[in-house]
Amino acid sequence: MLATMHGKEAAIVPAFQERLELTVETPSAIDTDALGTFTGEIPRAGTIREAAIAKARLGMAATGLSIGIASEGSYGPHPHVPFIPGGVELMVLVDDGRGIVVSEYLIDDAPVYEHVVAAEIGDLRTFLDHIRFPDHAVIVRPHEPDDGSVLIHKGLRTAEALESALETSTLRSRDNRALIQTDMRAHMNPTRMASIGRLARALCDRLATPCPACGAPGYGQIDVETGLPCEWCGAPSIMVRYQIFGCVACEFREMRPRPDGRTHADPGHCPECNP
């Protein structure tokens, strides 16, 4: 079971079929937008993990199945690198039969996630080339909306639709300009859809890994511990020292060394040598 209404099944279903031989059913009548939308008409409550779990449960309730899958994305400033856009995609599998929630996430370093303010289509050439329009659709709305009813044009993929949306939106804006944003819904943003496909494959790999202690599915890395010793002075640095692996069903934990084999940190990452 998969709770989605944005065509994400195209990216998710094949991964589950090929890697886990799981059949995924997509419920037809679920309004996941009721849980919050990208365009901000309905604010999302809680963390993206909570939102994804709520979405999976919505699908489970609709289908009566005990396993649900859902994904959730969040786009904004890059979580680690200043001044560039970034995205976090998270996918969960909720299994009420086993009483577990298995989740996997990825950071999208190169999302197609941009916005611009403009008065007419002639101002948009660079922006549209940059976001690879019309493969990636846009949303248009008044930049400074007047007091009338909410006006928002979504999923625009033709120059004609874009032009007419700009016309109505600029008329309804106090500064006569429109806000043009990439439409981040998965079926409107192929770059995001591809990220969701990668994430689905990573979640399947995790699900295919049993806990060494209890055998529950979904064993994998859950955290890191920093403090790799400085190669000059031996003090704990900000670099990762161990990967922490854990089980979703029992308390089993395991500290693994870095996969790149590094045992000491560059003094540049040491708070003693390079404060």
Instruction: Examine residue 131 and tell whether it contacts Zn ion (CB under 5 A).
Output: no
Min. distance of Cβ 252 from Zn ion in angstroms?
Answer: 5
* Cis, bond preceding 134 (omega within 30 deg of 0): yes
* Binding residue for Zn ion, selected from 22, 161, 213, 224, defined by CB under 5 A: 213
Copy the structure tokens of residue 222.
């859950």
Nearer to Zn ion, 194 or 238 (CB): 238
Q: Enumerate the β-bridge partners of residue 181.
A: 115, 139
Copy the structure tokens of residue 150.
């909410």
Q: Of the ranges 31-39, 106-114, 135-143, 216-224, which one interacts with Zn ion (CB under 5 A)?
A: 216-224
Copy the structure tokens of residue 131.
């976001």
Min. distance of Cβ 223 from Zn ion in angstroms?
Answer: 16
Copy the structure tokens of residue 152.
């928002």
CA distances from 122 to 137, 154, 158, 164, 273 (A): 17, 20, 14, 13, 54
Q: Enumerate the β-bridge partners of residue 103.
A: 92
Nearer to Zn ion, 159 or 233 (CB): 233
Cα 60 to Cα 95: distance, rounded to the nearest angstrom: 10
Instruction: Examine residue 230 and tell whether it contacts Zn ion (CB under 5 A).
Output: yes
Cα 38 to Cα 24: distance, rounded to the nearest angstrom: 25
Nearer to Zn ion, 176 or 209 (CB): 209
Size of site (CB under 5 A) for Zn ion: 16
Q: Of the ranges 38-46, 160-168, 181-189, 235-243, which one interacts with Zn ion (CB under 5 A)?
A: 235-243
Query: What is the CA angle 139-15-138, rounded to 5?
Result: 5
Nearer to Zn ion, 139 or 211 (CB): 211
Q: Of the ranges 4-12, 70-78, 184-192, 232-240, which one interacts with Zn ion (CB under 5 A)?
A: 232-240
Cα 165 to Cα 138: distance, rounded to the nearest angstrom: 10
Instruction: Examine residue 250 and tell whether it contacts Zn ion (CB under 5 A).
Output: yes
Copy the structure tokens of residue 266.
């560059």
59, 66 in Cβ contact below 8 A? no
Min. distance of Cβ 208 from Zn ion in angstroms?
Answer: 15
* Binding residue for Zn ion, selected from 233, 256, 257, 263, defined by CB under 5 A: 233
Instruction: Examine residue 84 and tell whether it contacts Zn ion (CB under 5 A).
Output: no
Nearer to Zn ion, 65 or 244 (CB): 244
Q: Of the ranges 53-61, 153-161, 173-181, 245-253, which one interacts with Zn ion (CB under 5 A)?
A: 245-253
Residues in 173-212 that interact with Zn ion by CB under 5 A: 211
233, 243 in Cβ contact below 8 A? no
* Binding residue for Zn ion, selected from 24, 106, 168, 232, defined by CB under 5 A: 232
Nearer to Zn ion, 73 or 220 (CB): 220
Cα 177 to Cα 169: distance, rounded to the nearest angstrom: 7
Strands 253-257 and 240-246: antiparallel
Instruction: Examine residue 254 and tell whether it contacts Zn ion (CB under 5 A).
Output: no
Give me the residues that bind Zn ion (CB under 5 A), please: 211, 213-214, 216, 230, 232-233, 235, 247, 249-250, 252, 267, 270, 272-273
